[in-house]
Amino acid sequence: MKHAEEKKSARLLAAKRRDSFPEQQRLAWSDTACQQAVDWMLQREGPMIGSIMIYIPFRSELDTTLLIEWCWRTGIKVIVPRCVKESRAMELYLLQAWDELVPGAYGIKEPDPVTVKRWDLAEQLPDIVFVPGLAFDASGGRLGYGGGYYDRFHDLLKETAAEQGQRFPLWIGLGYEAQWIDHVPMDEHDAAVDAVITEQGVTRGRAAWI
Ligand SMILES: Nc1nc2c(c(=O)[nH]1)N(C=O)[C@@H](CNc1ccc(C(=O)N[C@@H](CCC(=O)O)C(=O)O)cc1)CN2
Ligand SMILES: Nc1ncnc2c1ncn2[C@@H]1O[C@H](COP(=O)(O)OP(=O)(O)OP(=O)(O)O)[C@@H](O)[C@H]1O
C-alpha cells in the first residue's frame, strides 16, 4: 500500500482532533447533521428511499441516533453491519430497536447475531450507505480506521449490484465540518464517497448528480 505511513499519521491527527471537541458540542453537531441528512433524503428526486445502511457510532464519531429513529418512524428499513474480524468482512442485519444491539468487535455496538434478522444483500441492496470516517476531503476522499472494512464491502456491493442488475447505493460520508482535511491519501482500493453530509449540509464529491 503506497500511502500506509502517510495514512497512519493522518489517522492519529484526525482521531486526536475529533476527540478534542466536548461531547455536548459533538452531539449538537450530530443532531444537526442528521437533520441535514433527513432533509436531503426528503428533497432529492427519484423514488422514495426504502432502506439505508448505517453505522452505530463509537469513540467520538458523529452520532447517528436521530437519523436512525427518523427512518424507523418513516418506515425506512435500517440495516446495520457486524464485523467478522477473521475475514474483515461485514454481515448485515435489519435493526428494528436499540435493544437488539450487543457489544461487538472493537467495542462497537452491533446487532445480536443470535436474535436479529439477517439482511440478504443478494435480495436487495440498500438505497444509501452512510459511512463513518476519521476525515474527508472535497473530492470524496475518506480516511477510515485502517481495517479496510468499508472498501472491501464496497467491492462486494459492486459485484452484487452487477450480478443482480441492481442500482449501486449512494455512498455518503457522515462527519463534522471539523473533519474536513485538504487531502486524504487514497490508494487504488479506496472507495471515494459520493457526498459528505455535515452539520452545514451536503457537499458533493465527484458525483455532482446526487
Ligand atoms: N461505528 C463504526 N463501525 C465500524 C467502523 C467504523 O469506522 N465505525 N469500521 C470502519 O472501518 C469498521 C471497524 N473498523 C475498525 C478498524 C480498526 C479499529 C481499531 O481499533 N484500530 C486500532 C489500531 C489497529 C491496529 O493497527 O492495531 C486503533 O484505532 O486503535 C477499529 C475499528 C466496521 N464498523
Ligand atoms: N477491496 C479490498 N480487498 C482486499 N483488501 C482490501 C480492500 N480494501 C482494502 N483492503 C486492505 O485493508 C487494509 C486497510 O485499508 P485502508 O487503510 O484503506 O483502510 P480504511 O479505508 O482507512 O479503513 P475502513 O474502510 O475500515 O474504515 C489494507 O491493508 C488494504 O490492503
CATH number of the CATH domain containing 75 = 3.40.50.10420
- pLDDT mean across residues, the chain: 96
Task: Tell me what the mean pLDDT of segment 162-187 comes to.
Answer: 96
Looking at the domain assignment, is residue 202 inside a domain? no
Confidence of residue 1 (pLDDT cuts 50, 70, 90): confident
Q: Give the per-residue pLDDT at 162.
A: 96
Cell 441492481, residue located: 166
> Is residue 55 a known part of a binding site?
no
Q: Is the C-beta atom of 55 inside 6 A of ligand 1?
A: yes
What atom of ligand 1 comes closest to residue 133's alpha carbon?
7
Strands 109-111 and 101-103, sheet pairing: antiparallel
pLDDT category, 123, cuts 50, 70, 90?
very high
Q: Which of 1, 130, 151 has most ligand 2 atoms within 8 Å of CB, for mutation?
A: 151
Which amino acid belongs to residue 40?
W
Q: Is residue 144 a known part of a binding site?
A: yes
Cα distances (angstroms) measured from residue 143 to each of 58, 180, 199? 16, 10, 19
Q: Say if 208 falls within a structural domain.
A: no
Q: Kindly state whether residue 206 falls inside one of the protein's structural domains.
A: no
The answer as to whether 76 is a domain residue is yes
Question: What angle is formed at CA 82 by the lines to CA 165 and CA 23, rounded to 5 degrees?
Answer: 115
Distance 190 CA to ligand 2 centre (A): 7
Is residue 209 domain-resident? no
Q: By residue range, what is the domain housing residue 152?
A: 4-197
- Examine residue 33 and state whether it is found in any structural domain, yes or no: yes
Ligand 2 binding site (Cβ under 6 Å of any ligand atom): 1, 7, 143-152, 155, 187, 189-190
What's the structural domain count of the chain? 1
Residue 204 is assigned to a structural domain of this protein: no
ipTM value, please give it.
0.93
Residue 106 labelled as part of a binding site: no
Q: Is the CB of 147 under 6 A from ligand 1?
A: yes
CA distance 35 to 192: 23
The pLDDT score that the predictor gives to residue 208 is 55
In a domain, 75, yes or no: yes
